[in-house]
Each structure stands twice: as structure tokens, then as C-alpha cells.
Amino acid sequence: MKKLTIILTTIFALGGTTALGMATTNSNVEQAELQSNTAVVDTVGAEEDKTQSVTENNTNVSKDSSSDKITEEEAVKIAQNTIDGKLDEVELDTDDGVQVYEVEIDFEGDDYDIKVDAYTGEIRETDDDLLNTPVADEVSISLEEAKKIVSELAPGGNIDDVDLEMKNSRYVYEIEVEVNDEDGDVHIDAETGEVLKIEDDLEKLLEGNSASNEQKNSSESNDNASKDSKGEQISSEEAKEIALAHVGNGKVDDIELDNEDGLLLFEVEVEHNDDDVEVYIDAYTGEVVYVD
């Protein structure tokens, strides 16, 4: 009886220990799963915080960029510093992808449109002639100097029209010139005198004239060099004596100075034994070139 009791007690003890071990194992697994889920939630939360931070940073950058834009009042002041006139209108617009303030100024009865960069404050362009404004007296190159540059560029050309404008943030003379019935514009930097642009058709014409002039000058230079190398031209009397000496005897009936294939010759007609002989003599060397 005691043995049976001991055996049963041992069995119950072992069963309880096993059950307790299984319970403990289940508890550890559940706790690990809970910790894993908590980590996932924390990661998702961190990503959401990061996304929110990037969004806020982009928003702040956008705000900072907008804050760099100058005001309408500043744009008007910049325009009036160029042309001190009355403000007619100002509006924010886009020009070639750049935001600009278009400021319209009334100066002595004429309207001038001035485009001011909305961020840098630079004057990008004016749409009207500035020759009748104070700007014409402020630029480094005068109107007469600009005309002289064009006249040297296109000799013999007639200047039909001149405007002074702001183009790409620089003052430019736009000069219309007529050459050989061909009209075209030449752009001159009003501060440096640099030729900025020549319209295509006019440029081709000027290049053609330049090449022709160079060829002409080269030809004249070669002719002069040729004359210098040959020395002085002989006289007609000397040519007659040379012709008579070459024929032997006779009478000179006629003498002419002619150019044959670029060679200057005396053509001396000599009557010899009832026949006419033509003697061709180099007008520089006195050499008998041929007899006909």
C-alpha cells in the first residue's frame, strides 16, 4: 500500500512538472511574439516620423524660396531708378521660365515696359527705345560711336534706324543698316562697343564683301610687287630701236602698248623689204618676246 502511494505521488509530481514546463514555454513564446510586434510598430512609427520630417523640410524650403522674392514696391523702385517716371502698372509674370515683374513707367508722355527679375532684382529687358531717356547719357558708348562701329563693319552701308534697349540684362544698340539693298540689324554692346550679333543675311553679305575686298587688295598688292620686281617701263622710242635692231633695217609704221595674258608689251610694226613685220617687246625688260 505504501509503495502504491509513493508511485502515484511520483507520477503526479512528474506530470505537474511537465505541465509547468509547457506552460512556461508557451509564456516565453508569447512574450517573444509580443516584443517582435512592438518592434515592428516602433519601426513603422519611425518611418512615419521620418516621412513627416522630410515633408516639413520641403515645406520649409519652399517657404524660404518664396521669401527671397522681391516685393512689387522694390521692383517699382528698381524700374524708376532706371527711368524716373510715373508708375502706370505692375504685374507678376513669367518670361522664358523666369518670374519677372513687368513694370510700366510713363516718362514724358511715353510708356516704357521694364521687366525686373522677381528674385535677383536685375532688369532683364525693356520693350521700348531708351534713346530719349537719361539712360542714353549714362551708357559708356555714345550713339555716334555705335554708328561708327557699324560703318566700319559695313563700309558704304546706310544706317536706317537706331534703338537703345535692355536685352539679357545689358544695354544694347540695335542698329538697322542697309548694304547693297539688303537690310539687317547689328547689335552693339552700349558699355563695351562689342558687336554682339549680326543678322544672318546681313552677316553673309558682309562676309562676301570682306572676301572680295581681301581678294582685290591681294591682287593689287601682287600687281605692285610685279611692277616693282620688273623695274621701270621702257619708252616707246627705246622699243622702236629694239625692234629695228632685231629686224636689221626698215621703217617703223606703227607702235602700240598692249596687255597680253598679263604681260605688258610694245607691239612695233616695221616695214622691211616691202613686208610688214610685227615685233612684240616686253615693256619692262626690253626683251623681244616674239615676231609675227
Q: Residue by residue, what is the 3-state secondary structure of 128-162?
A: CCCCCCCHHHHCCCCHHHHHHHHHHHCCCCEEEEE
| Residue 222 DSSP one-character state | H
What is the per-residue pLDDT across 271-286, written as a single tens digit (0 to 9) for each?
A: 877 788 889 999 889 9
- Which residue would you say has higher pLDDT here, 3 or 270? 270
Mean pLDDT to the nearest integer, 136-162 = 92
pLDDT band, very low/low/confident/very high, at 222 (cuts 50, 70, 90): low
pLDDT at 153: 87
pLDDT band, very low/low/confident/very high, at 204 (cuts 50, 70, 90): confident
Flag the least confident range among 17-21, 125-129, 246-250, 252-256: 17-21
Mean pLDDT to the nearest integer, 82-102 = 92
pLDDT at 33: 55
Phi-psi map region of 104: left, alpha, beta (phi>0 left; psi -120 to 50 alpha): beta
Mean pLDDT to the nearest integer, 107-134 = 92
What is the per-residue pLDDT across 10-47, written as a single tens digit (0 to 9) for each?
A: 444 445 444 444 444 444 545 555 455 554 445 545 55
Using CB atoms within 10 Å of the CB of residue 27, give its burial: 0 to 12 exposed, 13 to 18 middle, 19+ buried.
exposed
Half-sphere exposure of 270 (CA within 13 A, CB side): 24
**Residue 9: is its pLDDT beyond 90?**
no
Mean pLDDT to the nearest integer, 199-224 = 61
pLDDT band, very low/low/confident/very high, at 214 (cuts 50, 70, 90): low
Length of the chain: 292
